[in-house]
Amino acid sequence: MKKIGIIICHRYHTCAGGKCLRSMRHREGAFALYKGEEIELVGFTTCGGCPGGNVEYAPAEMKRNGAEVIHLATGLVVGYPPCPRLEAFCDFIPAKFGLEVVIGTHPIPENYFLTHQALGTWSSARWQDRIQNILPAREMRLAYD
């Protein structure tokens, strides 16, 4: 069984996690990485707000609960602007805690896709790599709108 933790952007701190949990249950978005595998959520929290101070501590608790992977929620990518510390989190968590990091949870909703497409936010190869696990076909984007 793969044990995971989820860190969301603090600007969405009142989020109940519905899209993340739905995508985990149905193995959609970044959770498609675990098709055919059992997974367990062992932690769910915010980054703590910019500059992400909670990222210094929360993964330790998740690791004590058995976490092997930390998912940086889709909200860190689709919010505007996208999290400016995303790369730092991707570097810090494995270095400090020895945990794998996956960018994204649920599929990108269509409304966010259209906005960022118009802005050119994700046009670079670096961004295309970051969103590869959460950029589904339009039908799935609409299902998460």
Domains along the chain with CATH numbers: 2-143 (3.40.50)
Residue 2: its pLDDT value, please?
Answer: 97
Q: How far is the C-alpha of 21 from the C-alpha of 106, rounded, in Å?
A: 8
Q: How far is the C-alpha of 54 from the C-alpha of 6, rounded, in Å?
A: 12
Residue located via tokens 């609960």: 65
- Give how far the C-alpha of residue 9 lies from the chain's centroid of Cα atoms, to the nearest Å: 9
pTM score? 0.96
Residue 118: its pLDDT value, please?
Answer: 97
> What does each of the 145 residues of the chain score in pLDDT, given as a tens digit?
999 999 999 999 999 999 999 999 999 999 999 999 999 999 999 999 999 999 999 999 999 999 999 999 999 999 999 999 999 999 999 999 999 999 999 999 999 999 999 999 999 999 999 999 999 999 999 999 9
Which among 12, 15, 20 has a CA at the least distance from the CA of 108?
20
Residue located via tokens 């810090």: 92
